[in-house]
Amino acid sequence: MPPAMPDFSNTLKLKYVKLGYQYLVNHIVTLTLVPIMAAIFIEVLRLGPDEILNLWNSLHFDLVQILCSSFLIIFIGTVYFMSKPRTIYLVDYACFKPPVTCRVPFATFMEHSRLILKNNPKSVEFQMRILERSGLGEETCLPPAIHYIPPKPTMENSRGEAELVIFSAMDSLLQKTGLKPKDIDILIVNCSLFSPTPSLSAMQLQNSHRCIPLCSSKKTKKKNMPPAMPDFSNTLKLKYVKLGYQYLVNHIVTLTLVPIMAAIFIEVLRLGPDEILNLWNSLHFDLVQILCSSFLIIFIGTVYFMSKPRTIYLVDYACFKPPVTCRVPFATFMEHSRLILKNNPKSVEFQMRILERSGLGEETCLPPAIHYIPPKPTMENSRGEAELVIFSAMDSLLQKTGLKPKDIDILIVNCSLFSPTPSLSAMVINKYKFRSNVKSFNLSGMGCSAGLISIDLARDLLQVHPNSNAVVVSTEIITPNYYQGNERAKLLPNCLFRMGGAAILLSNRRKEHKRAKYKLVHVVRTHKGADDKAYHCVFEEEDKEGKVGITLQKDLMAIAGEALKSNITTMGPLVLPASEQLLFLLTLIGRKIFNPKWKPYIPDFKQAFEHFCIHAGGRAVIDELQKNLQLSAEHVEASRMTLHRFGNTSSSSLWYELNYIESKGRMKKGDRVWQIAFGSGFKCNSAVWKCNRSIKTPLHGPWSDCIDRYPVYIPEIVKL
């Protein structure tokens, strides 16, 4: 072999050459401009005062040129600073320092391993070899539950570790920065392998009391109440009075301007041609005034359009349609319940009563793993359900839109109770071979309202990233979360939750304007996690036998009502017409000043929306919202029929409801849709969409083979 070339990489001379090259390239602009500026400065110093004065006087400044140059500089500066991204500062941070009692020296770790794996010495030896080469020291820590022999990885201990770590870090950060919880506008908590319900972010809100409940309810006893006044609201005369009032207030500007414009037009017609010409000639137009006025209009228009948020289009969406083999008729469900809970007939009877009053039909579906006796909630089966639901919805979406995976810039997947590693978003990226620079997010633990949280996140991202496509996938994986215990509060979700999922394509590209179905108008989010009752009303925990399930408290509907009140308090001013806002304001003033016992005015949201998509969480949820919002049976038809045909599909139920309205041929251009969802924590989230074009009845979709049968009559009780 010939001798190797000498190694010049470490020689002193080459080191300085490399440093010189780096400095030259990194400062090329400075090294070019400094000599030029120095030469100009020296040349000016050579000139005498008289020569400098003569040079200045020789320059001819025209006012128009000065104005144009000034405007150009201001215009360029405005565009530059408005398009420049905001500077993000890291104010401070805090790290959790584990207590000394949690330390695990090598000797302790290996002793525990030998006791836990006493029947498998090879595994103990393998762990020892890994530990010897790991680079870890003697002061690393493990949570208290792992110090037990055997370890106790219960839900309670997991929450305990989360509270210890997160609360300690947050307390330290608030102390270092002097920040108050009410000053925090955005909260993001990431934890890969532990995804409880309510989420860890809700846990932090509950601990720090970030939100103050806006509404409170007190039970009062009615004592000698006077007889109610007769209800005139439906009389014919009052109906026309109300319609006249609404038209008058909502069109006050038009009704004011039209007579004024008509009077001006008539006055102009009275003038002869000569008088009109003389009037025009009497107007004196100065060039400077014209330029300044034009510049001002252009400047205001530029600022307005640059500060205006980008329009977010919902191009299309697709819902997963479960296969027929997954259907669970009432008889099948009850037969399985009797076999699984054969030692507890009262729990079986409880499930039967719930199912009779649930509003579900005979065609709802559960994943294959739940059809086994006993169910098989393994990781493999859970992934199998996730792949079936998500990939089916994604395939349908890509086929409908003609979109290619490489055209997707943002991917958001939300699934509350199943959070594997790699994540579900990584699973989608792997399946469809997305670009390596796709921005992916996986939301977990956010409950049934996570779909609208994902829409809100996609909206914020699309405001920052121009000319982008975002795909949102909303689902809930049932397989690992089917409760097999005996507690009634945890058996309730088994009766209501079913398979479902949806994939939604959002875009801020202008070329999507023509084919997009909807435009996103508003998203309003309300979180009541600061209240202890709201935080615990939907709670994932273990029963006495150690089986994990979700507990639904009896006061759930009351808490949902409070969350809805807070949400519509924010939503109302954004969407209600002026007539409704004025009535609400006058009633509020009257209650404050004249009589607090006046009945509060409930705004008529039917004036703001043509369609309502209420989360199909259960019959009680739909009934409560129909009553509180004073909606007709037709307004809640989509929600009731979705619950009947598909059950509670969690965050994706809103899209089945929207597809129902489309399948009925009711969605016309300009129609407004209000989506309302509730979730653990407790959250109430709303989204408002405006139909971009009249939508034809879809030929393919979850309702294609059964829409002609709907709506169906749903009795209060279905005897089983």
Q: What is the pLDDT of residue 216?
A: 34
Residues in Cβ contact with 280 at an 8 Å cutoff, skipping those fewer than 6 apart: none
Beta bridge partners of 523: 687
CA distance 130 to 139: 17
Q: Chain-wide mean pLDDT for the chain?
A: 87
Quick check: 502 and 318 in contact, CB under 8 A?
yes
pLDDT digits (tens, 9 = 90+) for 88-130: 999 999 999 999 999 999 999 999 999 999 899 999 999 999 9
Chain length of the chain = 720
**What are the catalytic residues?**
448, 527, 611, 615, 644, 648
Instruction: Give the N- to C-terminal CA distance of the chain in Å, as an integer.
Output: 89
pLDDT digits (tens, 9 = 90+) for 576-610: 888 788 887 787 777 778 777 777 677 888 889 99
CA distance 712 to 286: 73
| Peptide bond between residue 226 and the one before it cis (omega within 30 degrees of 0) | no
pLDDT mean over 39-47: 84
Q: What is the pLDDT of residue 12?
A: 63
pLDDT of 451 > 90? The answer is: yes
- Which of 200-204, 263-267, 295-299, 537-541 has the weakest average pLDDT? 263-267
- Band the pLDDT of 473: cuts 50, 70, 90: very high
Q: Which residue has the higher pLDDT, 274 or 702?
A: 702
Question: For the whole model, what pTM was predicted?
Answer: 0.83
Tell me the fold of 315-709: Peroxisomal Thiolase; Chain A, domain 1 (3.40.47)
Residues in Cβ contact with 480 at an 8 Å cutoff, skipping those fewer than 6 apart: 377, 379, 382, 417, 418
CA distance 614 to 636: 7
pLDDT of 397 > 90? The answer is: yes
The boundaries of every CATH 3.40.47.10 domain in the chain are 315-709
pLDDT digits (tens, 9 = 90+) for 56-84: 777 776 777 788 888 888 888 888 888 88
pLDDT digits (tens, 9 = 90+) for 605-643: 888 999 999 999 999 999 999 998 889 999 999 999 999
Q: What is the pLDDT of residue 218?
A: 35
Q: What is the pLDDT of residue 224?
A: 39
pLDDT mean over 331-347: 92
Q: Which residue has the higher pLDDT, 49 or 415?
A: 415
Q: What is the pLDDT of residue 221?
A: 35
User: What DSSP state is assigned to residue 607?
Assistant: G
pLDDT of 229 > 50? The answer is: no
pLDDT of 219 > 70? The answer is: no
Q: For the chain, give the percent of residues with pLDDT over 70.
A: 92
Q: For the chain, give the percent of residues with pLDDT over 90.
A: 60
